[in-house]
């Protein structure tokens, strides 16, 4: 990559132009996008597991239908994102192999268990809420296929966030047992949700370069702060307490001050040692192995059809 080529590429980014698959791009830009879009795609797919866990036990037919549709949406998001990654010259099979052998990550949040129905409310409200906070700015990211995938994904995520909040409203406004379950779900998901934005800026190895390339539009801490500022009034509306005794409105800064998550726990979870990491990867590996015959059959069919056309 000559300095002239790099400078011309950066000038396109700085001018707000979008980069398309066939355009020249620095190898580092391509690799960073494959890492980020791939991690995002894996998160959508692995992210079906904690909620899939409750489809059979949803309390009403309507809740069941909503949750089923939400989990299907996540599968769709995974597919758009794998397609966006494929435009960068990596195959979906290769991305899956990298996930299964630990070379690629997925979001830390999906390594926490979903223990009660109230967790379906907390996941929709907080996890999809955090996802939206991160993804709305990515609609303006510099890589065209990623930015365009984000537009539809964000529309669906905001619907998901509302279905989660609606569950929380029912639970928080219900019997004392239901209120207790809602509070317990908030207690368990609050700090893991804050971790979704990544390590604090001083420990974020990729932020500076990713922001210069407009692969990321904000720092991890900026988005985390924005999430806290928007979520605290929602918790108040629900009559629930955020499990942080130091949470307070800071008039001078115009933001809430809050306790940082336990970063040693975060680094353990992304190293594979969270409560559900082994279960999640085992489920993905089983699905991959069980689906081998379908992939083989499709390939054999495609080869036969191609041979028939040639004849
Ligand atoms: N979990 O230098 P940074 C969803 C890794 S939403 C796991 O700050 P970066 C929707 C990071 O990869 C969730 N790993 O990294 C849904 C890097 O490791 P590496 C998915 C994390 O990339 C809702 C290292 O730490 N959303 O799925 C995490 O600049 C409900 C150093 O960190 C996205 O992926 C983490 N939380 O910033 C689905 C959004 N944080 O790769 C189902 C797009 C950091 O060098 C149900 N991604 N790491 O080995 C991003 O915006 C960024 O990649 C960040 C991390 C902000 C996640």
Structure tokens at 308: 């028939």
* Ligand 1 nearest atom to the CA of residue 205, by list position: 2
- Bridge partners of 119, per DSSP, are none
DSSP label at residue 60: S
Average pLDDT of the chain, as a whole number:
97
* pLDDT tens, residue by residue, 20-66: 999 999 999 999 999 999 999 999 999 999 999 999 999 999 999 99
> 283 CA distance to ligand 1 centroid (A)?
21
* Residue 76 to residue 84: CA distance in whole angstroms: 12
* Residue 139 to residue 218: CA distance in whole angstroms: 12
Check: pTM over 0.90? Answer yes or no.
yes
pLDDT at residue 310 in the model: 85
3-state secondary structure of 175: coil
> 170 CA distance to ligand 1 centroid (A)?
31
Which residue's CA is the nearest one to ligand 1's atom 3? Answer: 204
pLDDT at residue 147 in the model: 97
* Residue 266 to residue 126: CA distance in whole angstroms: 17
> 301 CA distance to ligand 1 centroid (A)?
37
- Bridge partners of 143, per DSSP, are 19
* Residue 182 to residue 242: CA distance in whole angstroms: 11
C-beta neighbour count of 12 within 10 angstroms: 15
Within 13 Å and on the Cβ side, how many CA atoms surround 83? 12
* pLDDT tens, residue by residue, 146-167: 999 999 999 999 999 999 999 9
> 196 CA distance to ligand 1 centroid (A)?
7
Ligand 1 binding site (Cβ under 6 Å of any ligand atom): 35-36, 39-40, 43-44, 47, 74, 105, 107-108, 127-128, 131, 134, 195-199, 204-207, 210, 216, 220, 270
Burial class (CB in 10 A: 0-12, 13-18, 19+), 189: buried
Which residue's CA is the nearest one to ligand 1's atom 46? Answer: 47
Percent of the chain surpassing pLDDT 90? 98
pLDDT at residue 216 in the model: 97
Which residue's CA is the nearest one to ligand 1's atom 26? Answer: 40
> 271 CA distance to ligand 1 centroid (A)?
13
Helix (H) or strand (E) holding 26, with range, is none
3-state secondary structure of 249: strand
- Please provide the size of the chain in residues: 311
* pLDDT tens, residue by residue, 79-91: 999 999 999 999 9
* Ligand 1 nearest atom to the CA of residue 123, by list position: 30
What average pLDDT does this structure show over 133-152?
97
Yes or no: say if 107 and 43 are a contact pair by the CB < 8 Å rule: yes
* Residue 129 to residue 157: CA distance in whole angstroms: 8
Yes or no: say if 210 and 216 are a contact pair by the CB < 8 Å rule: yes
By most ligand atoms within 8 Å of CB, the mutation choice from 39, 194, 200 for ligand 1 is 39
By most ligand atoms within 8 Å of CB, the mutation choice from 95, 109, 206 for ligand 1 is 206
* pLDDT tens, residue by residue, 193-229: 999 999 999 999 999 999 999 999 999 999 999 999 9
Yes or no: say if 81 and 37 are a contact pair by the CB < 8 Å rule: yes
Residue of 240, 222, 219, 220 lying closest to 231 (CA atoms):
240
């Amino acid at each position: 990559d000559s300095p002239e080529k790099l400078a011309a590429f950066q000038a396109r980014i700085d001018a707000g132009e979008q980069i398309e698959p066939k355009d020249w791009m620095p190898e580092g830009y391509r690799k960073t996008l494959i890492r980020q879009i791939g991690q995002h795609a894996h998160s959508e797919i692995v992210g079906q597991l904690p909620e899939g866990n409750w489809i059979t036990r949803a309390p009403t037919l309507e809740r069941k239908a909503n949750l089923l549709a939400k989990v299907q949406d996540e599968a769709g998001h995974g597919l758009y994102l794998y397609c966006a990654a494929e435009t960068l010259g990596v195959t979906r099979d290769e991305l899956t192999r990298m996930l299964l052998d630990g070379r690629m990550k997925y979001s830390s949040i999906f390594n926490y268990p979903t223990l009660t129905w109230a967790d379906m409310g907390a996941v929709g409200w907080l996890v999809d809420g955090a996802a939206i906070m991160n993804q709305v700015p990515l609609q303006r990211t510099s890589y065209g296929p990623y930015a365009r995938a984000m537009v539809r994904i964000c529309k669906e995520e905001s619907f998901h966030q509302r279905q989660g909040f609606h569950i929380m409203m029912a639970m928080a406004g219900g019997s004392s047992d239901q209120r207790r379950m809602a509070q317990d779900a908030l207690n368990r998901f609050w700090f893991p949700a804050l971790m979704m934005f990544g390590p604090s800026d001083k420990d974020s190895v990729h932020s500076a370069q990713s922001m210069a390339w407009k692969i990321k539009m904000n720092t991890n801490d900026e988005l985390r702060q924005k999430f806290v500022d928007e979520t605290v009034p929602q918790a108040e509306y629900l009559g629930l307490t955020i499990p942080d005794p130091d949470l307070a409105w800071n008039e001078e800064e115009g933001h809430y001050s809050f306790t940082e998550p336990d970063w040693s726990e975060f680094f353990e979870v992304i190293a594979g040692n969270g409560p559900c990491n082994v279960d999640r990867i085992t489920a993905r590996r089983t699905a991959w192995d069980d689906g081998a015959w379908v992939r083989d059959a499709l390939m054999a069919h495609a080869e036969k059809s191609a041979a028939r056309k040639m004849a």
